């Protein structure tokens, strides 16, 4: 089998890890793009032994970065399935997006410590600012990136027999009270993922919510966010058919937008509307903030950490 090499970096952003490449390495055809990402990650294989992935969705990611005529930088994100030969290009990854400026500086693509970034998947504009020990990621005038409006069917509706809120901020998510789907966050990720009936129910809800939002079929978006009382909020989210070990960055941003705007099912389990929202998840706590003016979101912001792990050549 013939091989070629490509310049890559492996970068952690927040609670995820991805293979980063220059936009110039992006193939022209969709089939070739899918094949490249599958080869890089080593999918499908739960151990990703023949690639650079980690066998779970949070480590099976590819990000292309290049110059932009819309902003300082432009990105295109690919979510690779660790268990199937499929690649989803419909949504963005917030955790990995937080590492874009680290990669751009490391490779000489962009020299500054503040950059505006345009994401081609979601058509969202966000700003990255490098601070002492973290990066401030701020989505500007967010909402309606995929659906055309923040609440495509109102602040509350019924989907698959459940009262939910469907919101499109950074990425579309469906929000449901954890108790309504029989989810006890105290069971932990492994306990919840061992319940095949629960996973089937959550996937059915996710697919039905996607139809209600007018989205094209996707294995990634919308994600399901299950909320329960906490300090301020306890959240369990799904990712590619499984309960996620942490929280997707775009999901965190969407939840903050829902709280700032109000009127969603989150109001039933959250006391008030804190300026800075603390979300509890399996890996710890995360703080996120948002600013709203009536029915308009001015911004949603999330501090993250990121680190270049490796740079070199990948054989594909």
pLDDT for 154-201, tens place per residue? Answer: 999 999 999 999 999 999 999 999 999 999 999 999 999 999 999 999
Quick one: which of 125, 131, 245 has its CA closest to 185?
A: 245
Summarize pLDDT for 41-57 with one digit per residue, the tens: 999 998 899 999 988 89
In the three-class reduction of DSSP (H, G, I as helix; E, B as strand; rest coil), residue 47 is classed as coil
Question: Is a pLDDT exceeding 70 seen at residue 122?
Answer: yes
pLDDT in tens, 239-252: 989 999 999 999 99
* Alpha carbons 36 and 31: distance in angstroms, whole number: 9
Q: How many CB atoms lie within 10 A of CB 40?
A: 25
**Residue-wise burial string across 204-231, b where 16 or more C-beta atoms lie within 10 A, e elsewhere:** ebbbbbbebbebeebbbbbbbbbbbebe
Q: Which two tokens stand for residue 202?
A: 């959550």
Alpha helices in the chain (DSSP H): 30-41, 94-97, 100-107, 188-193, 196-212, 249-261
Question: What is the Cα–Cα distance from 169 to 146, expressed in whole angstroms?
Answer: 9
Cα-based distances in Å from 276 to 10, 285, 288, 289, 297: 31, 12, 6, 5, 15
Q: Which H or E element spans position 210?
A: helix 196-212
In angstroms, the Cα distances linking 85 to 30, 33, 38, 61, 270 are 14, 12, 7, 13, 40
What is d(CA 270, CA 285) in angstroms, rounded to the nearest whole number?
A: 16
Mean pLDDT (the chain) is 95
pLDDT exceeding 90 applies to what percent of the chain? 93
Name the token pair of 128.
């990255």
Res. 1: pLDDT tops 80? no
* pLDDT (tens digit per residue) in 204-231: 999 999 999 999 999 999 999 999 999 8
Spatial distance between the Cα atoms of 21 and 29, rounded to a whole number of angstroms = 17
Q: Are 220 and 240 in contact (CB under 8 A)?
A: yes
- Fold for domain 5-141+304-315? Diaminopimelate Epimerase; Chain A, domain 1 (3.10.310)
Contact 97, 116 (CB under 8 A): no
Residue 2, number of CB atoms within 10 A of its CB: 3
pLDDT grade for 3, boundaries at 50, 70 and 90? confident
| Cis peptide bond prior to 222, omega within 30° of 0 | yes
**Domain 157-294 carries which CATH code?**
3.10.310.10
Beta bridge pairs of residue 88 = 79
Region of residue 309 (left: phi > 0; alpha: psi -120 to 50; beta: else): alpha
Residue-range domain boundaries for the chain: 5-141+304-315, 157-294
Asked whether residue 96 carries a pLDDT value surpassing 60, the answer given is yes
* Confidence tier at 60 by pLDDT (50, 70, 90): very high
Average pLDDT, stretch 94-100?
Answer: 97
**Percentage of residues in the chain with pLDDT exceeding 70?**
99
Chain-centre distance of CA 49, in angstroms?
24
Same topology, domains 5-141+304-315 and 157-294? Answer is yes
- Is residue 195 exposed (0-12), middle (13-18) or buried (19+ Cβ within 10 Å)? middle
Euclidean distance between CA atoms 316 and 26, whole angstroms: 13
Distances (CA, A) of 244 to 29, 42, 197, 282, 298: 31, 21, 17, 9, 28
What is the chain's alpha carbon radius of gyration, rounded to the nearest angstrom?
19
Q: How confident is the model at residue 2 (pLDDT cuts 50, 70, 90)?
A: low
- Show the tokens assigned to 185: 């966050």
Please report the pLDDT score of residue 307 as a whole number: 97
Confidence of residue 92 (pLDDT cuts 50, 70, 90): very high
- Rounded distance between C-alpha atoms, residue 244 and residue 8, angstroms: 26
């Amino acid at each position: 089998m013939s091989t070629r090499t490509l310049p890559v970096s492996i970068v952690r952003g927040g609670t995820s890890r991805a293979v980063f490449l220059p936009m110039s390495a992006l193939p022209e055809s969709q089939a070739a793009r899918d094949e490249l990402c599958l080869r890089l990650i080593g999918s499908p294989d739960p151990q990703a032994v023949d690639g650079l992935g980690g066998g779970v969705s949070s480590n099976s990611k590819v990000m292309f970065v290049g110059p932009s005529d819309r902003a300082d930088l432009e990105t295109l994100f690919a979510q690779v399935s660790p268990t199937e030969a499929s690649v989803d290009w419909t949504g963005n990854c917030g955790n990995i997006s937080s590492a874009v400026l680290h990669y751009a500086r490391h490779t000489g693509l962009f020299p500054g410590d503040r950059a505006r970034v345009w994401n081609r998947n979601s058509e969202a504009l966000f700003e990255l600012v490098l601070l002492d020990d973290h990066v401030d990621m701020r989505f500007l005038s967010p909402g309606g990136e995929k659906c055309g409006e923040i609440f495509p069917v109102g602040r509350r509706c019924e989907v698959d027999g459940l009262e939910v809120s469907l919101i499109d901020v950074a990425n579309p998510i469906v929000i449901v009270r954890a108790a309504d789907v029989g989810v006890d966050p105290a069971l932990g990720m492994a306990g919840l993922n061992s319940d095949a009936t629960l996973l089937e129910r959550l996937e059915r809800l996710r697919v039905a919510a996607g139809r209600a939002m007018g989205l094209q079929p996707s294995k990634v978006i919308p994600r399901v966010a299950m909320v329960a009382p906490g300090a301020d909020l306890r959240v369990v989210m799904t990712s590619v058919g499984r309960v996620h070990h942490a929280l997707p960055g775009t999901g965190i941003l969407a939840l903050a937008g829902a709280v700032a705007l109000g009127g969603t099912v989150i109001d039933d389990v959250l006391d008030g509307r804190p300026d800075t929202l603390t979300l509890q998840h399996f890996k710890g706590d995360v703080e996120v903030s948002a600013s709203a003016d009536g029915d308009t979101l001015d911004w949603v912001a999330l501090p993250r950490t990121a680190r270049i792990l490796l740079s070199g050549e990948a054989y594909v």
